[in-house]
Amino acid sequence: MEMETNKLDYIKIPDLKHHGLYRIRARNATYGIWLEDEEGFMISRHKFYDNFLFVEYHWDCPAWATARPLSFVEQSPFEPNDFEYVEKTTEEGRTFHGHRKSTEILEYLNKFEGTLEERTAQGRR
């Protein structure tokens, strides 16, 4: 079993790299992409067998602080506009809102997080 990290032992906001992938300790994920403007980490969240992008906020934020970055993994392959929130239309003509590259971002994060089945087998959410 992994030892609990000291709550004071984490990377502070000024030391984070924009769009860098970090190993994090958070409510709903163990990896996240740092979004400087939101002061949070874009994560792959699983809830009721649904998998979607979600933001967990840095531990030093005044409200909703839920994520402590533990270590830098790599620079993510995404550009700033890939995270823009846009309206999309599917081939079937349905319209929805999401991040410009939400599918690619989710696939990238899931490479590190693992599938829901793998996470459950390891005792993670």
Q: What does the radius of gyration of the chain's CA atoms come to, in whole angstroms? A: 15
User: Is 6 inside a domain boundary?
Assistant: no
Output the pLDDT for position 1.
40
Measured CA angle at 48 (ends 61, 72), to 5 deg: 40
- Alpha-carbon distance of 103 to 83, in angstroms, equals 11
Expressed as residue numbers, the domain containing 21 is: 13-120
82, 30 Cβ separation under 8 angstroms:
no
Output the pLDDT for position 30.
93
User: Is 60 inside a domain boundary?
Assistant: yes
Q: What is the mean pLDDT of each run of 10 residues along the chain (125 residues)?
A: 60 96 94 95 89 93 89 96 85 80 93 70 58
Give the tokens for residue 91.
């081939």
User: Is 5 inside a domain boundary?
Assistant: no
Give residue 109's Cα distance to chain centre: 7
Q: Hey, what amino acid is at 10?
A: Y
- Alpha-carbon distance of 23 to 43, in angstroms, equals 11
User: Is 20 inside a domain boundary?
Assistant: yes
User: Is 42 inside a domain boundary?
Assistant: yes
User: Is 78 inside a domain boundary?
Assistant: yes
Output the pLDDT for position 115.
60
User: Is 125 inside a domain boundary?
Assistant: no
User: Is 1 inside a domain boundary?
Assistant: no
Output the pLDDT for position 112.
93
Output the pLDDT for position 56.
95
* Global pTM exceeds 0.95: no
Domain count, the chain: 1
